[in-house]
Structure formats: C-alpha cells, structure tokens
C-alpha cells in the first residue's frame, strides 16, 4: 500500500512538473512558470529599456576591448589598392581576381592594377544559365517535387559562388583589364538582373522538361541566345580583343599591345588554375583527412564540382603561413558576420559580449555551430598577412576585403588567431605549399555531398 501511494505521489510530481498540453504545447501552468524568466529587476528593466531604442550590437560592445588591435604584421604580401563589389554577391570572383592581381603587381612592379570583374561575371552568368538548363534536361524524368529538382528551381541562378568558378571561368575565357570592360550599374547592383534571369530560366526549365532530348538541345541554344541578349543589355559586350598599355611606377610606357582575353592571361599570369590550386577546409562536423565533393556546386556544366580536403586547423595554418612568407596571397572564406567590428575593421570574439547583455551563455563549439546551422562560410576575401611571435606562432591575420577602401581598416579586416580558429572555413593554396601527405589524400574517391548541404551555400 505504501509503495502504491509513493508511486502515485511521484507520478503526480512528474505531471505537475511538466504541466504541458498532451500535444507538447504550452499549458497555462507552464506559461506561468515561463513568465518568471523576466521578473522586472532593476538590471532587467535597464537592459529592456536600452534595447528598446538601441542596436543590440551597440549595447553588446565589450568596453574592455575598445582599443585597436596592433596593425603591425611580421609578414605581408605585396599588393596595392582595394576593390569594391558594391551591391553584388561577387566576393568569390573579386577574391580570386585579387589573388591574381597581387601576383601581377608584384611580378611587374605595377603602381596599381585591377582585372575586370564584369567580364568574368558576364560569362559566369551565361555558364550558370547553361548549367541550370542542362540540369533540367538531365533530370526531366524526376518529378518537380524531387529534392534535386526542387533545389535546382530554387537556386536557378545567382551571382554568388566559390573558387572553382574562378578557375574554370578564367581557364575557359581568360581575363581582361578593368578598362577593357568596366562595371555598369547592373553589375554593381545585381538583384534586379538576377530576378529577371531567374524568372526566364525557371520558365525555360519547365519547357525543357516537356521536350524530347534532340529538340531540347536545340531549344536550349535558343534560350541561351535570349539570356545572352539580356546580359549584354545589363553588362555590356564582352571584348574578344582589346589594346592595353603597361606603364611602370614612374609613368613610363613599357609596352602597348593588342590582346585577346586568353592571350592576356597567358602573358601576365600563365598558370593552370585548375591543376595548381588545392582547396582545404576546416569542418569539424565531418571526418578529417577525407576528400569531399559537392554535387552541382560548380559554375560551368563541363567544369569541376567543388572539391576540398577536410583538415584540422593545425594542418592548415602552416601552409597559409608558408604562402604569405613567399609573397603569395590566398583565396580565403569565413563566417564574416560573426563578431565583426566594422568601424575598427576587426574580427575578434572579444568584440561583443552578448552573454552579459542577456545574462546567458553561448557554449556551442565550432562543430556544434555547423551542425545546428548557426555558422557557415558566407564571404570570401584575400588572405594577405600574418603576424608571428618569436616562436613562429600566429597572433593575428589580415585579409584584403572587397567592400571598398573606406570599409574596415583601410579596406582590410584584421582577425585574431582565436577568431581564425572559430570562423575560418576554407583556404585555397598553390600545390607547392601543400605537404605530400596531404596531396596524397586527393587519391581518395571523394565523398559526394548533396548540393543543398547548408555548409556550401554560395559565398557572396
């Protein structure tokens, strides 16, 4: 009898403690207890009043970390000038071209130089259009509700991307100086153009799904001809030939020649971007020392899917340091929005104290943030500097950004090594900086990941 009475009491306690509706909803009793999370203490009221009329980031600024980070770097790549992607999502392209720009400036001792981002953007959008239309043909037997077709329709086209777009597009179409194809309003402000392209491509995609293969191929070419016309009206006609004069730092003419986009690339850069570069990634949510490939994550249909080696952060840093010491910039991507102080131009986990503002804690590590969609790569920049202590250990890093010279620290962002550990995701390195044991990992059969994996959204 005693045992039965005790069991009944325990059951009543459990039911009373949960007191939620049977379907998992919030009951009246639960709501009453939840309301105790705010008891209107003077501290709580002060924070509530401040948040009513101030930015959360402003109130979370860590007053103990207001001084500017030391801007000295022990090793820095030679480059000049800051680019500006303006209202576009082309950070991946600006970054890739900035890596090559640094090479050209250093090699030829140029006072300044900039490649035409608009030229490569034009062919990027044309190639992405073909990728989508051909994918519609390839998958026409799958229902519209299929996950792959659904993803393709939702992501018909955009101006975001990643490094394989840089390598495939340049090796196929070459490059031109900015003077040969300058920016337009639409290239700098791409949202309206992208909406028009998406609308046309989705319309075309539905049509292609209903056609037989032979007819679909013929119709696809007609569709691409219409897309090309839209791109010309928005971005201009990409040059097939142009004249360019090179001057030294004193303003003296060195050479003046007529080039094609590919001959210009061969003369001034001349390396095989598809074979000479390795992408490494630090993603602790997946197994290290494995090679991963992302389906449909490419810019060119007959190009390469995104392929990378997943490595511990301790393996990545020495390669990045070796590249910087050798005056070679790198394509670098990260979760730029986390703890960024745009005024100072710093990325530092001590910049903001949200835990104190809300009297809580944020204990998730990098792996858990990735697994819960709380963090992922969002932006590409050019890694150009590192500051090493007397033991050769990195204290801080610097990237050249593409948000204009007035943004951040003289157009750059300086990150602490602690921030680098937590929010750096990818670096693209020349093969000569990658140890043999890491290169041998490329002999593996890549693990294929779906295009909709949230870790691989386009960098913008």
| Digit-coded pLDDT (tens) for 115-135 | 999 999 999 999 999 999 999
Nearest alpha-carbon partner for 452 in 238, 297, 227, 225: 297
For the question of residue 401 being annotated catalytic, the response is yes
Please give the pLDDT value at position 20.
Answer: 55
Q: In angstroms, rounded to a whole number, what is the distance separating the alpha carbons of residues 286 and 309?
A: 11
Nearby residues of 452 by Cβ (< 8 Å), 6 or more positions away: 147, 151
pLDDT reading at 214 higher than 70: yes
Q: Per DSSP, which regions of 45-140 are E strands?
A: 75-76
pLDDT digits (tens, 9 = 90+) for 435-449: 999 999 999 999 999
Q: In angstroms, rounded to a whole number, what is the distance separating the alpha carbons of residues 328 and 384?
A: 8
Per the listing, tokens 């989508």 go with 132
Nearby residues of 58 by Cβ (< 8 Å), 6 or more positions away: none
pLDDT digits (tens, 9 = 90+) for 140-164: 999 999 999 999 999 999 999 999 9
The residue from 91, 168, 282, 334 that is catalytic is: 91
pLDDT reading at 4 higher than 50: no
Q: In angstroms, rounded to a whole number, what is the distance separating the alpha carbons of residues 460 and 453?
A: 17
Mean pLDDT for the chain overall: 93
pLDDT digits (tens, 9 = 90+) for 369-385: 999 999 999 999 999 99
- Global pTM value: 0.92
Q: In angstroms, rounded to a whole number, what is the distance separating the alpha carbons of residues 128 and 146?
A: 21
pLDDT digits (tens, 9 = 90+) for 12-42: 444 444 455 678 999 999 999 999 999 999 9
Mean pLDDT of 166-177: 97
The residue from 327, 379, 391, 421 that is catalytic is: 379
Please give the pLDDT value at position 460.
Answer: 82
Please give the pLDDT value at position 191.
Answer: 96
If pLDDT is split at 50, 70 and 90, which confidence band does 249 have? confident
Q: In angstroms, rounded to a whole number, what is the distance separating the alpha carbons of residues 235 and 244?
A: 21
If pLDDT is split at 50, 70 and 90, which confidence band does 6 have? very low
For the chain, what are the domain ranges? 75-456
Report the top-level CATH class of 75-456. alpha beta
- State percent of the chain over pLDDT 70: 95
Q: Please tell me the chain's helix, strand, coil percentages from 3-state DSSP, rounded to the nearest 5.
A: 45, 20, 35
Q: In angstroms, rounded to a whole number, what is the distance separating the alpha carbons of residues 18 and 35?
A: 15
Nearest alpha-carbon partner for 121 in 99, 102, 96, 101: 96
Backbone angles phi, psi at 195, to 5 degrees: -65, -40
The residue from 120, 130, 401, 412 that is catalytic is: 401
Asked if 60 and 353 touch (Cβ cutoff 8 Å), the reply is yes
Mean pLDDT of 350-374: 95
If pLDDT is split at 50, 70 and 90, which confidence band does 3 have? very low
pLDDT reading at 250 higher than 90: no
Backbone angles phi, psi at 243, to 5 degrees: -110, 140
pLDDT reading at 413 higher than 60: yes
Rg (CA), the chain: 26
Q: In angstroms, rounded to a whole number, what is the distance separating the alpha carbons of residues 230 and 376?
A: 33
If pLDDT is split at 50, 70 and 90, which confidence band does 213 have? confident
Nearby residues of 57 by Cβ (< 8 Å), 6 or more positions away: 352
Distances (CA, A) of 230 to 196, 200, 218, 227: 9, 10, 19, 5
């Amino acid at each position: 009898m005693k045992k039965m009475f005790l069991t009944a009491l325990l059951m009543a306690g459990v039911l009373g403690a949960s007191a939620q509706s049977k379907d998992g909803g919030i009951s009246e009793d639960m709501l009453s207890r939840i309301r105790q999370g705010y008891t209107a203490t003077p501290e709580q009221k002060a924070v509530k009043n401040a948040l009513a009329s101030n930015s959360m980031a402003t109130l979370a600024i860590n007053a103990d970390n207001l001084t500017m980070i030391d801007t000295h770097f022990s090793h820095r790549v030679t480059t000049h000038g800051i680019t500006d992607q303006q209202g576009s999502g082309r950070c991946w392209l600006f970054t890739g071209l900035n890596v090559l720009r640094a090479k050209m400036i250093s090699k030829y001792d140029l006072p300044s130089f900039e490649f035409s981002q608009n030229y490569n953007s034009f062919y990027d959008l044309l190639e992405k259009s073909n990728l989508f239309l051909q994918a519609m043909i390839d998958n026409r037997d799958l229902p519209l509700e299929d996950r792959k077709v659904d993803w393709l329709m939702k992501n018909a086209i955009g101006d975001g991307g990643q490094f394989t777009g840089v390598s495939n597009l340049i090796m196929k179409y070459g490059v031109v100086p900015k003077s040969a194809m300058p920016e337009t309003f639409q290239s700098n402000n791409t949202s309206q153009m992208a909406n028009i392209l998406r609308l046309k491509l989705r319309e075309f995609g539905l049509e292609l799904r209903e056609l037989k293969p032979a007819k679909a191929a013929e119709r696809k070419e007609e569709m691409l001809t219409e897309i090309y016309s839209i791109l010309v009206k928005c971005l201009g006609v990409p040059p097939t030939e142009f004249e360019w004069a090179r001057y030294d730092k004193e303003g003296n003419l060195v050479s003046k020649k007529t080039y094609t986009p590919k001959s210009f690339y061969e003369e001034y850069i001349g390396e095989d971007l598809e074979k000479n570069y390795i992408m490494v990634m630090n993603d602790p949510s997946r197994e290290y020392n494995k090679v991963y490939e992302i389906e449909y994550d490419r810019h060119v249909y007959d190009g390469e899917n995104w392929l990378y080696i997943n490595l511990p952060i301790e393996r990545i840093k020495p390669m990045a340091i070796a590249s910087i010491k050798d005056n070679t910039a790198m394509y670098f991507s990260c979760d730029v929005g986390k703890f960024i102080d745009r005024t100072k131009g710093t990325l530092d986990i001590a910049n903001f104290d949200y835990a104190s503002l809300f009297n809580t804690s944020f204990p998730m590590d990098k792996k858990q943030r990735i697994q819960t969609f709380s963090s992922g790569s969002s932006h590409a920049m050019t890694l150009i500097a590192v500051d090493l202590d007397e033991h050769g250990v990195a204290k801080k890093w610097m990237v050249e950004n593409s948000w204009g010279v007035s943004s951040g620290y003289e157009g750059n962002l300086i990150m602490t090594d602690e921030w680098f550990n937590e929010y750096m995701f990818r670096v693209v390195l020349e093969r000569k900086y990658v140890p043999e044991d890491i290169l041998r990992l490329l002999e593996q059969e890549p693990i294929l990941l779906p295009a909709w994996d949230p870790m691989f959204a386009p960098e913008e």
